[in-house]
Structure 1
């Protein structure tokens, strides 16, 4: 069902299958983690990088919800998310935190979901 939002955007949830919702939840989890870390490190450039990453994850989830070029969002999301994993490793090695491992697990699952969605195309399906 399409639902009008306060900003005039229409949510297009009728075409979302279960795997879409999994991807949206994973992107939101990683986005919220990055925004929280960004706020906690706001005084440093690393904090701003976290904020940008958080906005990227949340923006991608919103784009899927409003049906904005979903295939392109899946395709762009794969290297964006993979880049987050590489950057995390480079910045944190060898001192990795449990939160970092959890976020990277979420991101690896998100990459799998994005690959499946991209390969499948945007045909509306029911889960």
Structure 2
């Protein structure tokens, strides 16, 4: 007994199914446009406007929170005023420059390699704004 005869004897409808499926075309209706509109990347928008593409809070939540929420590898916690005091005592721009260049365990631009300098500044401003006032 051949293999095809064995299949046909076990599953007689298989042969009919295969024959029908190879001769009957199945209409396929596209569900997307032929030329989809792709939005401009946020980084290009930031470069064009000179403003951060995202808010400092959103950059923090995506790129900074994983270390600064728990103090990973010595990162100052977001609300630890004592840990931030020596950093804030540095000349203006130093804190942002350290983020852009990287410092200690923090890689350049933190974990936001696609962030512009304005995005980094927005994230730093957000973090500083979250410090307790007392």
Q: What's the TM-score once normalised by structure 1's chain length?
A: 0.28
- Larger helix proportion of the pair: 1
Which has the greater radius of gyration? Answer: 2
